[in-house]
Homo-oligomer: A and B are copies of this chain.
Amino acid sequence: MPVAMPLFEDDRGKLSFGETGAQLPFPPQRYFIVYEAEPDAVRGAHAHRSCSQFLIAVAGRVVVTTDDGADRLEHVLDRPDLGLHIPAGVWADQRYSDRAARLLVLASEAYDPAEYISDYDEFLQFKGLGQ
């Protein structure tokens, strides 16, 4: 699910981009930026029933753990030209290198608390993997 984004560089600086239907798997209906996160805090720790997300560490390093109920993967996001697509139905959390790290999340849906799953047992039920 990591996606290498196009990068243009010249003597004025760098530019990386993504377009819907090309690198971006959906048209974003929402963005959010997480910043000044405490380095020992775990953020996220939930899944989405229907919302897909695309994550980019715009500054610093963010370590993302994804868990589809069967496999747990760790992704290191440490450059603006690296995206991570997290489809709906995947549990994820994030850890920040320091307070200067800044994570951009593009989301396929507007905010709806009802489509969050914040209980891991409920997540396994949702995946058809519950007891």
Contacts and interface: CB of A to CB of B under 8 A. Distances in A.
A2 interface: no
B34 A15 contact: yes
A43 to B, nearest CB: 6
A25 interface: no
Q: Can you tell how many copies of this chain the complex includes?
A: 2
30 contacts: A11-B38, A12-B41, A13-B35, A13-B37, A14-B35, A14-B37, A15-B32, A15-B33, A15-B35, A16-B33, A17-B31, A17-B32, A18-B31, A19-B29, A19-B30, A19-B111, A21-B110, A24-B30, A27-B29, A28-B28, A33-B56, A33-B80, A35-B59, A58-B58, A58-B59, A59-B59, A59-B100, A59-B102, A80-B102, A104-B104
